[in-house]
Amino acid sequence: MSESTPLIYKDDYEEFSLSKRAKIILSTAGVIVAAATLWLLCVFLPGKFIPEAVPLEAISKVSELGVRLEPLTRTRVEELGLGDWSGVAGAIDQDESEDSEDDDNYAEQLTSRPSKEVPGVERLIMIGDIHGHYSEFMKLLKKLHYNPSKDHVLVLGDFITKGPDSKKVLDFLIENDIDCIMGNHELYVLRYYAQYHSLRAPFFHDNETGTFTSMAMSNSGFNDDPEFLLAKRLVPDQVKYINKCSIIKTLGKVPLHKTKNEGGPRSTEGVAVHAGLRWDLELNDQDPIENLEMRSYIGPFYNKTTDDPFEDNAVSWSKIFNMKQKEKESEDTLAVYYGHDARRSLSLKKFTKGIDTGCDKGEYLTAMVLWNEIGENKKGKKRVLYKEQSVQIKC
Ligand SMILES: *[C@@H]1O[C@H](CO)[C@@H](O)[C@H](O)[C@H]1NC(C)=O
Ligand SMILES: *[C@@H]1O[C@H](CO)[C@@H](O)[C@H](O)[C@H]1NC(C)=O
């Protein structure tokens, strides 16, 4: 033992001197690894999985569509496979069908250009609640022979949440510069986004007064609600897209007729909104939360709304809205295109067109296609016909 001790000592000494260098190298490496790990955990991964936050902008309460429908020739209408002229005459009320004032509408439409030059499109395609069903959305666009350079697509809210591919739907909408109306679920996602990133709650811009009103924020904190999880994953471009969707859009002239899928020489002003409008308030005075959530008015005055159709004295908002429009002077009427009410499904009335047909419940995804057509009256004079047709695919 004693003989071998120096040797061991020597070895130990050599090992010690070697391991001292190694220790320096190791500890340096350790510091580098620790720093890298810290950087990975605190900078790189959050950057990758917790997208950068962008502050929310004011949500527009009322905005204009920004395109106009160019009157199409009969030949072009047939090329596009739109509608069926044969059934239209019977669809117009007897007392409304041959207004002489309509005879001049062609010349009027061609001469009365809006003050700022608005691009012309062939079709306005409004689509009901897509709810993240990307493949069904693609199927519907394919059926419509969607042409991004000639069609203006407007999704009527609730295009994300519930279904499997919300982010894919969002990216498609962004890439194709598709127009949108905000739905209640987009607003809830924005609220969660603001909550998660400690930002100001979503707020609305009022065109009339120029003031802003904020949405109430719940203090429910972090949770595992799928909408919260979606909100966490949104990247700036996706947030900006949702944030720019307007509560109400004015559409200009839309068809005014009785039965579904047709049209004629009569028109009225049209608006798009996710859930509904208060019949007793101007567009600028509407409450965005009501516009995004209502399903029924509450009697006896029908000046309150509810999202619960089974509440006492609740009557379908579209029923009362139609009644109130019919009581009005014809020039002031509004036709409303909306979604939100999958339970009542396709509901095409004279002044309200509900097109949420429950794709998320495996039912249908519906588009309402609007176009203008050059027609003739009985005397052979040219006039514009306002047409629309609903198109569906099975989900
Ligand atoms: C209302 O204001 C917003 C934001 O300033 C604007 O984008 C929108 O076009 C305005 N709407 C109308 C109808 O003027
Ligand atoms: C609804 O209308 C009635 C009768 O005009 C009125 O007394 C009531 O205050 C209104 N309610 C709301 C919420 O505007």
pLDDT digits over 207-219, tens only?
777 777 777 776 6
% of the chain exceeding 90 in pLDDT: 66
| CB of 303 sitting under 6 A from ligand 2 | yes
Pocket test for ligand 2, best of 297, 301, 304, 305 (most atoms within 8 A of CB): 301
313 Cβ inside 6 Å of ligand 1: no
Question: Which one of the ligands is nearest to 303 CA?
Answer: 2
The tokens describing 104, both together, are 């001049």
Residue with CA nearest ligand 2 atom 5: 301
Count helices and strands (H / E) in the chain: 12, 19
Q: pLDDT confidence of 393, banded at 50, 70, 90? A: very high
135 within ligand 2 shell (Cβ under 6 A): no
Atom 2 of ligand 1, residue of closest alpha carbon: 207
pLDDT of residue 157: 98
Non-local (6+) Cβ contacts of 266 within 8 A are 92, 96, 97, 99, 102, 255, 256, 257, 386
Query: At the fourth CATH level, which superfamily is domain 57-394?
Result: Metallo-dependent phosphatases (3.60.21.10)
The answer, yes or no, to whether any atom of ligand 2 lies below 6 A from the CB of 301, is yes
The pLDDT of residue 297 is above 50? yes
Atom of ligand 2 nearest to the CA of 304: 13
Count of residues in the chain: 395
pTM: predicted TM-score of the whole model, two decimal places: 0.83
Cβ atoms 105, 384 nearer than 8 A: yes
Instruction: Give the mean model confidence (pLDDT) for residues 335-358.
Output: 95
Does ligand 2 lie within 6 Å of residue 304's CB atom? Answer: yes
Judged by its nearest atom, the ligand closest to the C-alpha of residue 252 is: 1
- Cβ burial of 351 (10 Å; 0-12, 13-18, 19+) is buried
**Residue 267 CB neighbours (<10 A):** 22
CA angle 235, 173, 282 (to 5 degrees): 100
List, in sequence order, every residue forming a beta bridge with 155; answer none if it has no partner: 127, 180
